[in-house]
């Protein structure tokens, strides 16, 4: 799984699928996170970024991405929030 977080845009990409999210708490100096194959890099606003290997750092961003998924109804299910005409 490839995860990219663009903090100024409040955007998280998972395997290329972008969603705007409510960002979880994070270090305010972070600008972006790239994660794939069990490791990643954090870009910061000023100075050199750093490498991460702890999936717990990206997990809150992945949860935010999942929470931002568009609502879907099962095929044939009645629409919700729609008034009958």
Supply the pTM of this predicted model.
Answer: 0.81
Q: In what order do the strands lie in the sheet with 17-20?
A: 17-20, 11-14, 3-6, 30-36, 39-44, 50-52
Its domain, for residue 23, covers 3-67
pLDDT, tens digit (0-9, with 9 covering 90-100), for 13-71:
999 999 999 999 999 999 999 999 999 999 999 999 999 999 999 999 999 999 999 87
Total domains in the fold of the chain: 1
Let me know if residue 75 belongs to a domain: no
Let me know if residue 73 belongs to a domain: no
Let me know if residue 46 belongs to a domain: yes
Q: Whole-angstrom Cα distance, residue 17 to residue 45? A: 25
Let me know if residue 41 belongs to a domain: yes
Let me know if residue 8 belongs to a domain: yes
Let me know if residue 47 belongs to a domain: yes
2, 35 in Cβ contact below 8 A? yes
Let me know if residue 43 belongs to a domain: yes
Let me know if residue 79 belongs to a domain: no
């Amino acid at each position: 799984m490839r995860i990219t977080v663009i903090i100024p845009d409040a955007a998280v990409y998972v395997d290329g699928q972008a969603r705007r999210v409510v960002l979880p708490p994070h270090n305010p100096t972070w600008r972006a996170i790239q994660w794939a194959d069990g490791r990643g890099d954090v870009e910061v606003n000023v100075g050199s970024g750093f490498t991460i290997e702890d999936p717990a750092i990206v997990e809150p961003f992945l949860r935010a991405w999942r929470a931002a998924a568009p609502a879907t109804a099962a095929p044939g299910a009645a629409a919700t929030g729609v008034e009958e005409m």
